[in-house]
A and B are shown apart, each in its own frame.
Chain A
Amino acid sequence: MAGPRLILFAALAIVTVASVRADERRVVKNPHFGQVLFEFYQDNYFSALTRVMTEQQFTRLAPHAEEAELLRGGILLSYGAHQEAGRIFERLIAAGAGPATRDRAWFYLAKIRYQRGYIEQAEDAIARVEGALPGELEEERRLLHANLLMQRQQYQKAVDVLQRLPPRSDWAAYGRFNLGVALVRVGERESGVKLLEELGRARAPNEELAALKDKANVALAYAFLQDNQPARAKAYLQRVRLNGLLSNKALLGLGWADAALDSHERALVPWVELAHRNAVDAAVQESLLAVPYAYGKLGAYKQSLDSYEAALVTYAQESNRLDQAITAIREGKLVSNILRANPADEAGWFWRMQNPPDVPEARYLTQLLASHDFQEALKNYRDLRFLEGNLAHWSQQMQVYRDMVANRRQAYAERLPRVLSQERTLGLERLRTAAESRAGEIARIERESDSAALANDKERALLDRLERVQRALAAAPDADAAEKFRRYRGLLSWDLSVQYSERLWEAKKELRDVEGLLAQADQRRAALKQAQTEAPRGFEVFAQRIEALRANIERMRPAVAQAAHAQEQYLGELAADELSQQRERIAAYVTQARFAVAQIYDKAVRSEEARKE
């Protein structure tokens, strides 16, 4: 069961993102939420997560607040933070989220609970999903439901649930595989075989499904081999691809099926082919024993003996290489080599090691390196290394920000006296008195309709001149000149009265402008006064925040480095354990080979003795 279960876990880890990806273009009504999605859609999950949390802090996500929180929960879940993700989904449900959000939250909760082994609670959560979930999420929900039913051994119901999945769905194929294996294991062999057979015959449009198809056929074949039905086993093995990941196992099984049918000559065909393949593979190692075993059955003792001896040489070489590999792993180079072979910008859910490192020890670790648990542990390590880099970056930034605040504080202290003195030289009070006096004057002009008071320079010069003429006429009267004076003065008065209204309006407007400027100056003065108390406080608040955050960064840096080191050691132990197991297996093969060699010699000695007698 563990094999298929591992596949399922890997699949579950991926589907969260896949399901979000299946959602087509989103309508975004807030650029800040759009910015989160911009990071998310580029697989920059760490940036998306920290961005969504920052925007939440600034409360800038309406009307997408609920969706953003769901997204945060989803990212955290795939980031391995089950507890916090669970709390988010529970909060969303308790807060009365809309049906779509609520359904997704219940689904995610069901998934978390299932992964952590709380089957009953997971069943309760999945039962609360009311509507269909979007995209592939719905398929994943059905698969999860089927898995829960399998846990309860309600296989028929699980079959029904899986049958409702689209026939071409990858999830349906994984579900059927899991179910088939589960049924065989609990003794419902016929139903299990039927399911696996369907899968083993199905069309496989992609590599993933082709591999699953191979796996179903190999699983069936070995079940029948174990059940002493070699002929039936052969039929399944012949469906396995020759160059797939399981081809070695299939060739080995094919040989055993023929051997069980007493066709040792036939058995040699796949085994000899296998024995020429890379001896790192367990099936190849085993074929090195199987080939001489078949020769022995055929009575070809000389060839059998030669093959056993050749096998012993190969086992010795492999054992030596394993020793070297274990030493290399204990020196701690494996993990750094893996990361070097698989660079990527940011830690994320989707990250999986794609390229095994090009080092000798990796050849022996293919299975381990591809396993879900190792990949998850590696992802954790990689995340920690990423966080180390992130904290180192912030540590430098904090120094810059600390200097920045100090510079601002100093610049402020230097500029403040200058600004205050400039403000004083403006003489605002004097200007205000002048404006008040001007306002009084305009009121008087309006009250007395004193158009002359609004005369321009030229008119004022004319008025002065007329006054001088009037004084001259008073001293020496002249009728003609008096008449001319009267006409000129009338003309000027007419001009002034015609322009009076417009000039009065302009004078009032100018006064309003001046009063506006004075009000602005008052505001600036008030702002300046406020700044004199608030700016130093603001600098202090920033300085304190920077110091507190800096202390947090410096506290976390060694903790993260220490955890990364522990995780690296753990990964190394896993790899070394795996290699030790392989070495033990080879040791077992060596014992068997030596025993067989001894038997052949013994047989040869006895037949020689019998011949002599």
Chain B
Amino acid sequence: MLKKCRSVFLFIAIATGMVFAADDDAKTQNRQALDTKIQTLKQEVIELNRDLLALEEELLFPANTQVAVFLSMDVGTLFQLDSVQVKFDNTVVANYLYTEREVQALYRGGVQRLYLGNLRSGSHELVAVFTGKGPHNRDYRRGATVTFDKATGPKYIELQIRDETTSQQPEFRVKEWQ
């Protein structure tokens, strides 16, 4: 009996999680066929999404009027970002409140596309107001302004939040991408 019980147990100890190993060939083949079908479908839907996103961008934000505002951040020891407001020519176009997960993604080098819209060619003014905690955990609110020319190609503007180590203050810069 001991031997018998022991062998039953050893079966349990070793075989837990092995249910698939007991599959017969037909089952394995079916599973593989279904798996291959699913992989193909996933691939197709991913490619379809790429085409759909491209269509959406070209339809809603044509290159000749497109303007995108990005936001990036470095290590963030001097400034903890809470929210950002973006105005174009005195009109608010974006108000964004950040989650911890998003802030972490920014710290690690991610760049957020904060706004994607359309502007006519000509001169425009962008004002960004950053709110958060500054040095010594004090409430901090700062603005950055830039006047730029929108030509017939798309315009990309990046709002950069940098730690200025010499002044021990955060710095807010605006970079125009060519």
Q: Which one, A35, A39, A371, A585, contacts B70 given CB within 8 A?
A: A35
B13 → A minimal CB distance (Å): 6
Q: Within residues 102 to 125 of chain B, which ones have a CB less than 8 A from any CB in chain A? A: 102, 104-113
B49 with A50: CB separation less than 8 A: yes
CA gap between A258 and B113 in the complex, in Å: 67
Q: Is B139 an interface residue (CB 8 A)?
A: no
> Which of B29-37, B77-85, B86-94, B163-171 lines the interface with chain A?
B29-37
B51 with A549: CB separation less than 8 A: yes
Q: Is B38 an interface residue (CB 8 A)?
A: yes
Contact residues in B for A368 (Cβ distance below 8 Å): 17, 19
A542 with B59: CB separation less than 8 A: yes
A81 with B59: CB separation less than 8 A: no
B63 → A minimal CB distance (Å): 9
CA gap between A434 and B112 in the complex, in Å: 54
Q: Which one, A35, A54, A283, A567, contacts B112 given CB within 8 A?
A: A35
CA gap between A50 and B12 in the complex, in Å: 44
Given A373-B20, A404-B59, A581-B19, A588 and B39 touching (CB < 8 A)?
no
Contact string, A532-571, partner B, CB cutoff 8 A, digits 1/0?
A: 0000000000100110010011001001100100110010
Contact residues in A for B9 (Cβ distance below 8 Å): 249, 252-253, 256, 283, 286
Tell me the nearest residue of chain A to B68, going by C-beta.
A31
CA gap between A368 and B16 in the complex, in Å: 8
Q: How large is the interface on B (under 10, 10 to 19, 20 to 34, 35 or more residues)?
A: 35 or more
B48 with A553: CB separation less than 8 A: yes
Q: Within residues 44 to 76 of chain B, which ones have a CB less than 8 A from any CB in chain A? A: 44-59, 68, 70, 72, 74-75
Given A2-B18, A546-B55, A80 and B48 touching (CB < 8 A)?
no
> Which of A141-149, A318-326, A382-390 lines the interface with chain B?
A382-390
Q: Is B14 an interface residue (CB 8 A)?
A: yes
Contact residues in A for B47 (Cβ distance below 8 Å): 53
Contact residues in B for A559 (Cβ distance below 8 Å): 41
Contact residues in B for A226 (Cβ distance below 8 Å): 6, 10
Q: Is A339 an interface residue (CB 8 A)?
A: no
Tell me the nearest residue of chain B to A219, going by C-beta.
B13
Q: Is A57 an interface residue (CB 8 A)?
A: yes
Q: Is B156 an interface residue (CB 8 A)?
A: yes
Chain B interface, >50% SS class: helix
Contact string, A14-26, partner B, CB cutoff 8 A, digits 1/0?
A: 0000000000111
A54 with B10: CB separation less than 8 A: no
A578 → B minimal CB distance (Å): 6
B2 with A259: CB separation less than 8 A: yes
A46 → B minimal CB distance (Å): 8
Tell me the nearest residue of chain A to B15, going by C-beta.
A2
Q: Is B26 an interface residue (CB 8 A)?
A: no
Contact string, A387-408, partner B, CB cutoff 8 A, digits 1/0?
A: 1001100100100010011000
A6 with B54: CB separation less than 8 A: no
CA gap between A6 and B15 in the complex, in Å: 12
B90 → A minimal CB distance (Å): 25
Contact residues in B for A371 (Cβ distance below 8 Å): 17, 19-20
B12 with A282: CB separation less than 8 A: yes
Contact residues in B for A607 (Cβ distance below 8 Å): none
Q: Which one, A367, A380, A405, contacts B35 given CB within 8 A?
A: A380
Contact residues in A for B59 (Cβ distance below 8 Å): 401, 404-405, 542
A283 with B102: CB separation less than 8 A: no
Chain A interface, >50% SS class: helix
CA gap between A3 and B5 in the complex, in Å: 21
Contact residues in A for B2 (Cβ distance below 8 Å): 256, 259-260, 293
Q: Is A34 an interface residue (CB 8 A)?
A: yes
B55 with A401: CB separation less than 8 A: yes
Q: Is B95 an interface residue (CB 8 A)?
A: no
Q: Which one, A26, A38, A53, A570, contacts B46 given CB within 8 A?
A: A53
> How many chain-A residues does the 8 Å CB contact rule pick out?
87
Contact string, A46-80, partner B, CB cutoff 8 A, digits 1/0?
A: 10011101100110000000000000000010011
Q: Which one, B8, B41, B68, contacts A286 given CB within 8 A?
A: B8
A293 with B108: CB separation less than 8 A: no
Given A286-B5, A574-B19, A38 and B31 touching (CB < 8 A)?
no
Q: Which one, B8, B38, B102, contacts A588 given CB within 8 A?
A: B8
CA gap between A595 and B22 in the complex, in Å: 29
CA gap between A81 and B106 in the complex, in Å: 28
Contact residues in A for B16 (Cβ distance below 8 Å): 3, 282, 367
B58 → A minimal CB distance (Å): 8
A570 with B17: CB separation less than 8 A: no
Tell me the nearest residue of chain B to A40, going by C-beta.
B110
Q: Is A327 an interface residue (CB 8 A)?
A: no
A380 with B70: CB separation less than 8 A: no
Q: Which one, B12, B39, B101, contacts A82 given CB within 8 A?
A: B39
Q: Is B97 an interface residue (CB 8 A)?
A: no
A284 → B minimal CB distance (Å): 11
Q: Is A236 an interface residue (CB 8 A)?
A: no
A549 with B45: CB separation less than 8 A: no
Given A252-B9, A256-B9, A567 and B34 touching (CB < 8 A)?
yes
Tell me the nearest residue of chain B to A560, going by C-beta.
B41
CA gap between A592 and B7 in the complex, in Å: 13
Contact string, B144-176, partner A, CB cutoff 8 A, digits 1/0?
A: 000000000000101000000000000000000
CA gap between A256 and B109 in the complex, in Å: 57
Contact string, A93-105, partner B, CB cutoff 8 A, digits 1/0?
A: 0000000000000
Contact residues in B for A31 (Cβ distance below 8 Å): 68, 70, 72, 111, 113, 156, 158, 177
Q: Is A41 an interface residue (CB 8 A)?
A: yes
A556 → B minimal CB distance (Å): 6
CA gap between A286 and B16 in the complex, in Å: 15
CA gap between A62 and B46 in the complex, in Å: 22
A38 with B111: CB separation less than 8 A: yes
CA gap between A3 and B6 in the complex, in Å: 19
A138 → B minimal CB distance (Å): 20
Residues of A at the B interface (CB closer than 8 Å) are: 2-3, 6, 24-28, 31, 33-35, 37-42, 46, 49-51, 53-54, 57-58, 76, 79-84, 218, 222, 225-226, 249, 252-253, 256, 259-260, 282-283, 286, 289-290, 293, 367-368, 370-373, 380, 383-384, 387, 390-391, 394, 397, 401, 404-405, 542, 545-546, 549, 552-553, 556, 559-560, 563, 566-567, 570, 574, 577-578, 581, 585, 588, 592, 596
Give 11 A-B pairs besides A42-B102, A592-B1 with Cβ atoms closer than 8 angstroms: A35-B70, A38-B112, A53-B47, A58-B54, A222-B10, A256-B5, A290-B5, A397-B56, A401-B55, A404-B59, A546-B55
Please provide the 8 A-B residue pairs with the shortest distance between their CB atoms, ordered closest to farther. A34-B111, A38-B110, A26-B109, A41-B105, A53-B50, A31-B70, A50-B49, A54-B53
Residues of B at the A interface (CB closer than 8 Å) are: 1-2, 4-6, 8-10, 12-21, 30-31, 34-35, 37-39, 41-59, 68, 70, 72, 74-75, 101-102, 104-113, 156, 158, 177
